[in-house]
Amino acid sequence: MLGNEAAARGLYEAGCAVASSYPGTPSTEITESLAEYGEIYTEWAPNEKVALETAFGASFAGRRAFCGMKHVGLNVAADPLFTISYTGVNAGLVIAVADDPGMHSSQNEQDSRHYAIAAKLPMLEPADSAECLEFAKYAFELSERFDTPVLLRVCTRIAHSQSVVETSARAEPPAAEYVKRAEKYVMMPGNARRRHPVVERRTEELRLLAEDTFLNRAEPGDRHLGVIASGTAYQYAREALGDGASILKLGLVNPLPEKLILDFAASVDRLVVIEELDPVIEDHCKRLGLRVEGKNIFPAIDEFSQNLVASALGLPAPSGRTLGEDVPARPPVMCAGCPHRGLFYALSNNKVTVIGDIGCYTLGASPPLQAMDSTICMGASVSGLHGWSRALGRAGSGRAVAVIGDSTFIHSGVTGLINIAYNGSDSTVIILDNSITGMTGHQQNPTTGYNIKGEPAGKIDLEALCRSVGITRVRVVDPYDLAQCEQALREELDAAGPSVIISRRPCALLKYVAPKPPLAVAPGKCKKCKACMKIGCPAISMRDAGASVDPTLCVGCGVCAQLCKFDSFDTALPQH
């Protein structure tokens, strides 16, 4: 099983009853897998804050509950996180957070362990799929025993690696009884002041647990080198060092043990902490007064590997052959037929400043379109544009737009739009409605009309939503129609007052979107003006004889044909 599937299996076996999450690579498959178990109510929430509050509500009501997200999602959910640490839980509450060292699919490389420390919550970190299952299951037990939400941290290489697991049957723990306890759950200052000492005592109790839990284990080997590691770093250390080192493997990464580490340190000649991202364990060791190596020989950026571990410790690491010439990069691109392409061409062609957001459409920043000026976090396009417009007035708002996808708009763009409407800037927001959450692999959202199981569900009317918050200029365009996109863009940029353009066409990868016949270039017609190359379609390349369309990639969207002054593109030609 994938680590994520295994974590879901563990949650299932523990009797999890309610799961609410927002998708985010590399966390998404945990919740997708949960949805396949009929016994668990599973949903996609509009954002991580809503998801965590929902999961807390279920725990509060007495049923075991789960919420999953990627590392940056925890920023959004941090508000409830810090306070449910004070209230504790009724039935168990497990929160999975997936970090992305190396930023395979993320905008930053933050280390979620800092949240566990700051919110004073226990955090478990599995190192393979079997542990994902075991730890997820045990997390519920820990949650109920210590009256605390429990964080489960996975990294990309654990979440998206398959390894062997053993499954067992689901337990059905009885629902916890709901008893009104305002002093525990109503966090007004008087009550919260009495809960804070409870949290501090709990941390001390968890620290005692950390000294002798099965989650932490010393694996004796050569005593000349002692390594402390968790998660992925543990596996790289095992691979690189074999039994050439003693390893203290930590599965409970907050709170960290003291005596266990001191004893381990005393048993080895040289102590090294191997951890990806920040020196959390290393700093803990230093506070214990230990002489320890860590970030002096290991980087605080990117993911590790067995060769990196070997090299940092001065051991030989294999090196590979070289080709002796540069291999061109292959960055990710918008797919052939992507509905975002036409809209981004219009933005690029009009040299508009584009305040961007998080999703597939962030690829609009890449050459040749290069139609994006900033990307920060979910929703930041809409609120950022308002700031831009207020700073520069009409001169600025007339040449800038925000672009945001349908799911991201619901996640946290709508609050920015309310600010635009309320505080009345001349901003033009473009919602790229491709009728799905695309980048994370096609999850349903409140605008699609379907729930996580594909069943009909509530469907938000984006036009009505925008109008209801006070935007009077709302229009819909088809991004496959370049002239329509350009006209809408020019008119809305020129218009006074806020406006919304909804660029609407379903993702070309959706199963129900039937591709049209591929286009072909009529022999001899192409004059090699390269106008069609400006849209960066992976199906089009320029050969000696002129533009050429790859019929296995082309879905017949026709955007290229609208750019050709020589009518070179045709669907009427016989196909290969």
**Interaction of residue 316 with other proteins, rule CB under 8 A:** no
The verdict on 325 binding other proteins (CB under 8 A) reads: yes
Rounded to 5 degrees, φ, ψ at 303 are -85, 165
Q: Minimum CB separation from other proteins for residue 239, in Å?
A: 4
Considering only 192, 198, 333, 460, the residue that binds other proteins (CB under 8 A) is 333
Peptide bond into 368 cis (omega under 30): yes
Rounded distance, CA 329 to CA 367, Å?
Answer: 12
Point out which span in 116-124, 178-186, 200-208, 306-314 binds other proteins (CB under 8 A): 306-314
Q: Which residues contact 306 (CB under 8 A, 6 or more apart)?
A: 236, 239, 240, 317
Q: Which is nearer to other proteins, 424 or 538 (CB)?
A: 538
Neighbours of 353 (CB within 10 A): 18
Options 366, 484, 562, 571; binder of other proteins; rule CB under 8 A: 366
Q: Which two tokens stand for residue 126?
A: 């599995």
Q: Is 30 helix (H, G, I), strand (E, B) or coil?
A: helix
The window from 179-187, 363-371, 426-434, 565-573 that contacts other proteins (CB under 8 A) reads 363-371
Q: How far is the CB of 201 from other proteins (least distance, A)?
A: 38
Stretch that binds other proteins, among 59-67, 321-329, 483-491, 496-504 (CB under 8 A): 321-329
Segment 104 to 123, residues that bind other proteins, using CB under 8 A: 104-105
- Among left, alpha and beta (phi > 0; psi -120 to 50; other), residue 217 is beta
Torsion of CA 57, 62, 63, 68, to 10 degrees: 30
Q: Which is nearer to other proteins, 291 or 322 (CB)?
A: 322
> What is the Cα–Cα distance from 535 to 547, expressed in whole angstroms?
13
Q: Beta strands 546-549 and 540-543: pairing type? A: antiparallel
575: its two tokens: 């196909």
Taking the least distance from each CB to other proteins, the nearer of 163 and 374 is 163
Q: Is 163 in the site for other proteins (CB under 8 A)?
A: yes
Tell whether residue 334 is a contact of other proteins (CB under 8 A).
yes
Alpha-carbon span 110 to 82, nearest angstrom? 18
The piece of 34-42, 112-120, 249-257, 320-328 that touches other proteins (CB under 8 A) is 320-328
Q: Is 217 in the site for other proteins (CB under 8 A)?
A: no
Nearer to other proteins, 307 or 451 (CB): 307
Contact 432, 405 (CB under 8 A): yes
Binds other proteins (CB under 8 A): choice among 180, 291, 321, 511? 321
Judged by CB under 8 A, does residue 326 bind other proteins? yes
Beta pairing class for 569-570 and 150-155: unpaired
The span from the CA of 314 to the CA of 334, in Å, is: 42
Instruction: Work out whether 230 is an interface residue with other proteins (CB under 8 A).
Output: no
Shortest spacing between CB 160 and other proteins, in angstroms: 5
Reported as type and span, the H/E element at residue 153 is: strand 150-155
* Torsional class of 72: left (φ above 0), alpha (ψ -120 to 50), beta (otherwise): alpha
Q: Which of 55, 116, 420, 114 is nearest to 283 (CA)?
A: 114
- Closer residue to other proteins (CB): 52 or 508: 508
Give whichever of 242 and 449 is closer to other proteins, judged by the CB atom: 242
Report the residue number, 212 or 243, with the smaller CB distance to other proteins: 243
Using CB under 8 A, which residues numbered 505 to 544 contact other proteins? Answer: 530, 533, 536, 538, 540-542
Q: Which residues bind other proteins (CB under 8 A)?
A: 2, 25-26, 28-29, 104-105, 128, 157-158, 160-164, 232, 235-236, 238-240, 305-308, 317-335, 360, 362-363, 366-368, 439-441, 530, 533, 536, 538, 540-542, 550, 552
